Structure 1
Amino acid sequence: MAISLKVAKHTAGKAASRQRRQVRGRKKLHGTPDRPRLIVTRSSRHVFVQLVDDSVGKTVASASTMEPDLRGLDGDKTAKAKRVGQLVAERAKASGVESAVFDRAGNRYHGRVAALADGAREGGLAF
């Protein structure tokens, strides 16, 4: 799988640093039917997660804070991210997936990304 994103090393800023981390990580991570890739996408307000089988390019399961049942949840964004992790773990188990490869997409393993991972582990997804 070739990554065509080019980021100049001298480019400053948080976004450029995240893109460089993302490219480095994607070289090493590949999802299989037995162990799909758990991709975390984070915006300023929401968290999106999906399990992707890279051999066929198919999404096995997905969840986000934009779903109607999660929009009405009380709590901060970190608590909602944890619930998204639990929800994607439930959907993965329903699809027959027991373990995954965690792809944080260049985001630091901290805050909402870590809470989502903890929620997925509590839901029974191994990675």
Structure 2
Amino acid sequence: MIQAADIREWRNHDVTDPDGHKIGVLEAVYVDTSTDEPAMATILTGLPTRRRLVFVPLDRAIVGPGYLKVAYIKTTVRKSPAIGTDSVLPAEDEQAIFEHYGMPYQPGANGERQLARR
């Protein structure tokens, strides 16, 4: 498992898919609030005039020299739910991210968010 302290060092490095295609640049890491382990990352994608942040799970991610390789192909990641570069992920939108990747969504017992930005 990638440690939260380690992955923060990779901010602004390239994020690639399993085939080595560049998806974008690592912008932030989101941890699972129940374990405090890295769970998702946001990747800065798009043209300079139309930038957005897309979400990708960090399960099976591999850290290399100057890059982070995720387990999902570029087209899947680019179609994931996104937020603006100055936006915050609304709590009600978390579930859609998990559903996009076929992952179970498990908020806290009292409805707490599953993801927290670090």
Same fold (TM over 0.5): no
Greater strand share, structure number: 2
Larger radius of gyration: 1
Greater helix share, structure number: 1
Q: TM-score, normalised by structure 2?
A: 0.32
Q: TM-score, normalised by structure 1?
A: 0.30
